[in-house]
Structure 1
């Protein structure tokens, strides 16, 4: 068992299960080559951690409350803290600079900025990509049409996306992205990299992201990452993903 796993489980044992609703804030996923898609959003991604849009218990049974609490208050909060430190050290004016602008040129910044701004951004998107289980278990409208055209069927899309997460070696993320030429592509990135980064082999606007780091699932699923991914499909927030796509396509 790795030290990080031991630390996670140790922290989990001490954590209480909390609940309580927080205000919803939709992240804006702008990139210089795109018009900002979230013209309908009240606020975009900032350098600070935003409140969860639901209670820690909201995603059960797919994702348990204790994992959600630790994931949000420990792991994600640490990324946001470290981003603030990196911005200070590297003299980034957070009042006039967007996180997306830094990610697009991340090769010019420190490893600390890459790891932590990537982690912060990825998690701010991840929280919004999920919602309490409902009957809305598949996309509709233009996104459904685009998925069927790109992957032949929704089930084929799910299988390919699941494989991207299941087969990501070590820690990382699985993504559905919209490329500059408006194509839907599935892929994955290591660690806290994402498709907005100039160092990423996978490039495009993230529409849907799945965290496959062990801290996202280990308390409930242990080493059974495929079981976690299969359960995760029941909490995908397709309304959010569809709005992302329709604003960009």
Structure 2
């Protein structure tokens, strides 16, 4: 399976002034592309050559895992934004955050602390499990 960067659902300058066009072009255009290109080269001739991205992240190690993980991270990152977005969540997500953390402010505090204390990139995700 050949991987490609996820398509941006907005223009490269649509997130300004929060995230600059230059930052999007660098991280999406260069960093993300490098992870995708490296992954495509690394999986040739391996058990992961025809696997989907999530399977590769779950079952690989080393350079394949690193590049698959960063490809998935960047896919999630760039599709999580929208122009004029942000603010407190509503509906089921807001209810779940309040139930788990007590308040949105407490969630933000713990989420930021998790990112700051994580060695390396500081990438953290809020995820739902069973």
- Do they superpose with TM above 0.5? yes
CA distance in 2, matches of 1:112, 1:89: 15
- Partner in structure 2 of residue 104 of structure 1: 58
CA distance in 1, matches of 2:124, 2:26: 21
CA RMSD in angstroms, aligned pairs only: 1.7
Q: Secondary structure at the match of 2:13?
A: coil
CA distance in 1, matches of 2:120, 2:67: 18
| Superposition misfits of 4+ residues, deviation over 6 angstroms | none
CA distance in 2, matches of 1:50, 1:128: 8
Unaligned 5+ segments in structure 2 are none
Normalised TM-score (structure 1): 0.49
* 1:82 to partner: Cα distance: 0.5
Alignment pair present for 1:63 and 2:14: no
Find 2:8's aligned residue among 35, 52, 77: 52
Normalised TM-score (structure 2): 0.89
Find 2:66's aligned residue among 112, 115, 135: 115
- CA 1:172/1:106 → structure 2, altered by over 3 Å: closer, same or farther? farther
Unaligned 5+ segments in structure 1 are 1-45, 183-249
CA distance in 2, matches of 1:172, 1:158: 14
- Partner in structure 2 of residue 235 of structure 1: none
CA distance in 2, matches of 1:121, 1:47: 11
Q: Secondary structure at the match of 2:127?
A: strand
| Cα-to-partner distance string for 1:133-159 (whole Å, 9 max, x where unaligned) | 24x511111111111000000111111
* Bigger fraction of residues in strand: 1
CA distance in 2, matches of 1:144, 1:91: 41
- CA 1:168/1:93 → structure 2, altered by over 3 Å: closer, same or farther? closer
Correspondence 1:46-195 to 2 at 5 A: 47-94=3-50, 97-107=51-61, 111-134=62-85, 137-179=87-129, 182=130
CA distance in 1, matches of 2:109, 2:45: 43
Q: Secondary structure at the match of 2:75?
A: helix
* 1:172 to partner: Cα distance: 3.7
Number of residue pairs matched by the alignment: 129
* 1:166 to partner: Cα distance: 2.0
* 1:70 to partner: Cα distance: 0.8
* 1:91 to partner: Cα distance: 4.7
CA distance in 2, matches of 1:92, 1:73: 25
- Partner in structure 2 of residue 237 of structure 1: none
